[in-house]
Amino acid sequence: RKEVEQDPGPFNVPEGATVAFNCTYSNSASQSFFWYRQDCRKEPKLLMSVYSSGNEDGRFTAQLNRASQYISLLIRDSKLSDSATYLCAVAANAGGTSYGKLTFGQGTILTVHP
Amino acid sequence: DVKVTQSSRYLVKRTGEKVFLECVQDMDHENMFWYRQDPGLGLRLIYFSYDVKMKEKGDIPEGYSVSREKKERFSLILESASTNQTSMYLCASRRTGSGYTFGSGTRLTVV
């Protein structure tokens, strides 16, 4: 079983739609969680961190479910410019030997069409 | 903003060449990382470093080595390039507890 798993999609949604991605992780000691966005042929860029209580940034909402070991990303009112690959990333406790290294999911491809 | 700079966007090297990929960050981050990204395989960690002269193997270190002589610079070395090392190479740096900042990547082709 992979450490971090995502549904690769692709997700094709119309503008204005709400879309949700899930990401499961296998290491119960994981402490830090992130969502990244990657445009075609570009580097990943941090979209948002995921906090235990859930957090929101404009149209984007991230949730963490430690009991079931998954994180989610919800995008409301999708825009054409949201088309990208969304990567989840998980870090084990930085106090151990991992030194904060992130393990990434394979990414979920989102295409928003007019 | 943290800046992570990779020295080359595109490189073409011959099989058997020794290849150096350079990465510099300007925010005094302790941790630096080298990943490669391939279609269908995602981002895979090659090596990382948590301090000057310290290094740890990632998930796929075979065929690679690294050097961190100064805190801001982390170099990836392909000792003898092979065609299966054709890939996008991404460097990242991180302060513990925060997310990564990636460089813009080096697309390496080994012919």
Q: Which residues pair with A70 in a beta bridge?
A: A24, A65
A2-28 pLDDT, tens per residue? 789 998 889 999 999 999 999 999 988
Where is mean pLDDT largest: A68-77, A97-106, B22-31?
A68-77
What is the predicted pLDDT for the residue at A93? 58
CA–CA min distance A89, chain B (Å): 9
Nearest by CB to A107, from B30, B42, B94: name it.
Answer: B42
B15-37 pLDDT, tens per residue? 999 999 999 999 888 899 999 99
Confidence of residue A95 (pLDDT cuts 50, 70, 90): very low
Contacts of A94 in chain B (CB under 8 A): 96-97
Alpha-carbon gap, residue B107 to A37, rounded angstroms = 19
Contact indicator for A86, A21 with CB cutoff of 8 Å = yes
Mean pLDDT by 10 residues, chain B (111 residues): 87 97 92 93 92 91 96 96 97 82 96 97
The b-or-e profile of A2-14 (16+ CB within 10 A means b, else e) is eebbbeeeebebe
Q: Is B41 on the interface with A (CB under 8 A)?
A: yes
Residue B22 C-alpha from the chain's centroid = 7
* One-letter amino acid for residue A93 of the chain: N
Q: Report the residue of A23, A33, A52, A101 to disrupt the B interface, i.e. the one with the largest count of B CBs within 10 Å.
A: A101
What is the predicted pLDDT for the residue at B1? 66
**CA angle, corner A60, sides to A30 and A66, nearest 5?**
25
Do the Cβ atoms of B31 and A100 come within 8 Å? yes
Our separate counts of H helices and E strands in chain B read 0, 12
Of the candidate ranges A42-46, A94-98, B7-11, B25-29, the one whose mean pLDDT is the lowest: A94-98
Contacts of A40 in chain B (CB under 8 A): none
What is the predicted pLDDT for the residue at A86? 97
Stretch A54-71: mean pLDDT: 94
Q: Is B105 on the interface with A (CB under 8 A)?
A: yes
Do the Cβ atoms of B102 and A105 come within 8 Å? no
What is the predicted pLDDT for the residue at B25? 95
Residues contacting A95, CB < 8 A, separation 6+: none
Confidence of residue A99 (pLDDT cuts 50, 70, 90): low
Alpha-carbon gap, residue A58 to B73, rounded angstroms = 35
In A33-62, the residues whose Cβ lies within 8 Å of chain B are 34, 36, 42-46, 49
Which long-range CB contacts under 8 A does A76-80 form with residues at least 24 apart? Answer: A76/A18, A77/A16, A77/A18, A78/A13, A78/A14, A78/A15, A78/A16, A78/A17, A78/A18, A78/A19, A78/A110, A78/A112, A79/A15, A79/A112, A80/A15, A80/A112, A80/A113, A80/A114
CA–CA min distance B7, chain A (Å): 14
For residue A78, pLDDT over 50 is answered with yes
What is the predicted pLDDT for the residue at B2? 62
Contacts of A46 in chain B (CB under 8 A): 99-101
